[in-house]
Structure 1
Amino acid sequence: MTLHIETPLIQSRPLSLAAGRSIWLKLEALQPPGSFKIRGIGAACEIHARQGKRRFVSSSGGNAGIAVAYAGRNLSIPVTVVVPQSTTERARQLIRQENAELVVHGETWHEANELALSMLGPDDAFLHPFDDPRLWEGHATLVDEVARSGPKPDAVVLSVGGGGLFSGVVEGLRRNGWGDVPVITVETRGAEGLARSLEEGRRVELERIESIATSLGARQVCQHAFDLARQHPVRSCVVSDLAALDACERFLDDHRILVEPACGASLAIPYQVRDMLPEGNILVVVCGGVTASFDQLRKWRAALAE
């Protein structure tokens, strides 16, 4: 038995009508800790547990930390999560809710990550939020499930932060014989590390994150994701924070599921940027995220209106 569940794959009538394409949704928002992260992180935690590790240490902008805390509680292993100051209060509460120790440090994830690494002891396991082959292999199970139950997609739409989900999806496409399926990578303006890197032909490190989509808040994508983006058919797209927020609210009306702006970025493509999509069946990874409440969405909208 795994720590993640097999999530529904549904054909969305509202998004299909909006996009003029057949839109399929992989509902990772329904994972027990609220996002796709538990696939790879859960698998990695189970490996560390079998190896006798006695504590999990992680750095996170929110969702990865929640997944590690959830895994630790289910495996009866203590967890320490270091988050930056930009992590929402709701995310902090959800990490504590899983009985994990929470440490707030630094303005960005990179600073939180440095502290997390400095805390490691000989019996501790470090859980990186996105740069770990065990995570990519775990995230690839998402595509395995699609291959068993749905049509072969003509494109996959997903959000990119540090590149863990992208790396896993490409691995999943390849191992299911779908290596020719293009991936549309979506980022919000102010957190577009992959888009900038592809433009310049090198891994770019952003000076700062200037987006409300803090779950996409890695200033630099991992090397593996950058390499894959230059090998695999990829179309990079950058949307505004407002477009991501609009998509979150519209998706809530259409499917009664509340997701955060990092996920709304991907949903903005079928809702608003349909020209990015080929004809046929489009798979959108609804990556989820429980770090935003409806009240938080309203606060972000008010802030963007200023």
Structure 2
Amino acid sequence: MTKTTINYREKIEHSHVYDVAKKTPLEFQASLSARIDNRVLLKREDMQPVFSFKIRGAYNKMASLPADVLKRGVIAASAGNHAQGVAMSAKKLGCRAVIVMPTTTPAIKINAVRSYGAEIVLFGDSYSDSYVKALELEKTEHLTFVHPYDDPDVIAGQGTIALEILEKNPQPIEAIFCCVGGGGLLAGVAAYVKALRPEIKVIGVEAKDAEAMTESLKKGERVMLDQVGLFADGAAVKQVGEHTFALAQQYVDEMIVVDNDAICAAIKDVFEDTRSILEPAGALAVAGLKAYAKRENLHGKTLIGIASGANMNFDRLRFVAERAEIGEKREAVLAVTIPEKPGAFKAFCNLLGNRNITEFNYRYADAKVAHIFVGVAIADPAESAKLVADLQAQGLPALDLTDNEVAKLHLRHLVGGHAPQAEHEVVFRFEFPEKPGALMKFLETMGHDWNISLFHYRNHGADFGRVLVGMQVPPSDSAEFNTFLDNLGYPHWDETQNPAYKLFLG
């Protein structure tokens, strides 16, 4: 293990960050603390002017450059947050800035960098690709490269976060959790914390498909990942830095790896306490904090997570909302097989009881059995297992798909198809009240042996549920069917002649 000879405590305490950065709050998270029975504090780096901690390291590096070097300009490679830090710092210092960004960078980050007057070059699929291009431009344009993490001045700038944490909370701290991409934040925080309060654990958190630091520490040398996942794009780095790796070896207690569902759940946790929305990389620390508290069975401890960024691509909110409940183990996704006969669907719904249904997909397949894809709100994973057991005890084969990626990502949107055997099918779109019992009222009001041949519902967070229902209603029953619709009292629209239905389902 190579030990650094740099006095990071001194560098951090003399960093030039507060010309542009601000001392962010260390906030108590009431809801999350109560739920996991520990005192959770959040270091709100998402409240920086560029909505990320990266402004600290970028400005500290640039402010330390000689005047003649700064005048020629700087260049950086970044997935977004470091880019904004460099761009804002360049505007403050009055110098040219060129930023090389991966082509996968969210538009919100590209536009934010442009707003500070920086020149943008889009190149490659990841930070590593952009990094190589930036080194080329550094030479041809005679610029100075500002590394996003592997530079002592950048590391020291990020380390000022630890200085503020210890100033704000002199009481005992069990652990501080940091997101990890290239390792600059983790290295700076760990170096400072271990210099002043070595009893505090410093724990890095990585996304499951971007585990460069975790793997490097395991092997005792920096590894190069073949590819990285881009959901937590702010931490999508194939190889950690030399300086950051050496500091992690020396000072970091452990690494924790979390999956995308856990990240989504952490985003929701922070939103419920702060009404702020972190980006995926920004929520890594909270996801790791929760996993650590559960693994160690901690109670009454002070745990601090660094909310590192909030440059969320708005389009990702759809995915986050869908996966957050699964990540928190508050939704079970099941496949259930029921007999294809009148009344079976109603019997199945009775077995679900008053549980909140988050999604319901069913399409008539054959005359014997029907396969239902259903999402159910649960209090804990044990409830999911009990529900599966209860269904199977009633002769309804059930499969828990909660951890099945194909089911969660694709099958839930593909359940369906043509059903030529569904004779006399009529299709209606309904608005159900979003409350327990709405589906049972529908089934009980129907009071007839019309077979339900199609049923689709997803919870959209509105005050009513949008439901598509297919029923086999012979023409001779049309008057009785109209009476049923009138008695039901739910807004409804006849979609039997809808061209989309005819093309894909009819």
Q: Same fold (TM over 0.5)?
A: yes
Q: Distance in 1 between matches of 2:272 and 2:184?
A: 29
1:120 to 125, 130, 138: 138
Aligned to 2:106: 88
1:240-279 map, 5 Å = 240-271=259-290, 273-276=292-295
1:42-53 map, 5 Å = 42-48=59-65, 50-53=67-70
1:305 to 385, 389, 409: 409
Any idea what the Cα deviations from partners look like across 1:253-277, whole Å, max 9, x if unmatched? 3211111111222212344552246
1:212 to 225, 231, 255: 231
In proportion to residue count, which structure has more strand? 2
Any idea what the Cα deviations from partners look like across 1:66-90, whole Å, max 9, x if unmatched? 1101111122212110011121111
Any idea what the Cα deviations from partners look like across 1:69-119, whole Å, max 9, x if unmatched? 111112221211001112111111111111111100112211111111111
Aligned to 1:7: 24
Tell me the CA shift for residue 202 of structure 1. Answer: 2.4
Q: Compare 158-167 and 273-282 and name the one that shifted more.
A: 273-282
Q: Distance in 2 between matches of 1:196 and 1:99?
A: 38
Aligned to 1:136: 155
Q: Distance in 1 between matches of 2:269 and 2:40?
A: 15
Tell me the CA shift for residue 131 of structure 1. Answer: 0.4
Superposition RMSD on alpha carbons, in Å? 2.1
Q: Distance in 2 between matches of 1:211 and 1:107?
A: 9
Tell me the CA shift for residue 13 of structure 1. Answer: 1.1
Q: Compare 91-100 and 198-207 and name the one that shifted more.
A: 198-207
Letter in 1 for 2:194: R
Structure with bigger gyration radius: 2
Q: Distance in 2 between matches of 1:31 and 1:253?
A: 20
Alignment TM-score, normalising by the size of structure 2: 0.57
Aligned to 2:247: 228
Q: Which runs of 5+ in 1 are unaligned?
A: none
* Matched position secondary structure for 2:255: strand
Letter in 1 for 2:218: E
Tell me the CA shift for residue 26 of structure 1. Answer: 0.8
Tell me the CA shift for residue 250 of structure 1. Answer: 2.9
2:181 to 161, 164, 182: 161
Tell me the CA shift for residue 246 of structure 1. Answer: 2.1
2:83 to 62, 65, 70: 65
* Matched position secondary structure for 2:237: coil
Aligned to 1:108: 126
Letter in 2 for 1:226: F
Q: Distance in 1 between matches of 2:227 and 2:269?
A: 29
Distance 1:87 1:293, change over 3 A: closer
Any idea what the Cα deviations from partners look like across 1:163-221, whole Å, max 9, x if unmatched? 0001110122134x112321121111110111122223322111001241111111011
Q: Distance in 2 between matches of 1:179 and 1:269?
A: 20
Q: Distance in 2 between matches of 1:178 and 1:89?
A: 40
Distance 1:211 1:179, change over 3 A: same
Q: Distance in 2 between matches of 1:148 and 1:62?
A: 29
Q: Distance in 1 between matches of 2:122 and 2:104?
A: 9
Q: Distance in 2 between matches of 1:301 and 1:84?
A: 26
Q: Which runs of 5+ in 2 are unaligned?
A: 1-17, 324-407, 411-506
Aligned to 1:288: 309
1:78 to 78, 96, 104: 96
Aligned to 1:172: 192
Q: Distance in 1 between matches of 2:293 and 2:135?
A: 42
Q: Compare 112-121 and 194-203 and name the one that shifted more.
A: 194-203
Residues 11, 24 of structure 1: 8 Å contact kept = yes
* Matched position secondary structure for 1:48: coil
Alignment TM-score, normalising by the size of structure 1: 0.92
Aligned to 2:470: none
Q: Distance in 2 between matches of 1:247 and 1:8?
A: 19
Aligned to 2:502: none
Residues 181, 233 of structure 1: 8 Å contact kept = no
Distance 1:302 1:173, change over 3 A: same
Query: In the alignment, does 2:17 pair up with 1:17?
Result: no
Q: Distance in 1 between matches of 2:291 and 2:198?
A: 27
* Matched position secondary structure for 2:209: coil
Aligned to 2:210: 191
* Matched position secondary structure for 2:188: helix
Distance 1:110 1:80, change over 3 A: same
Q: Distance in 1 between matches of 2:254 and 2:21?
A: 29
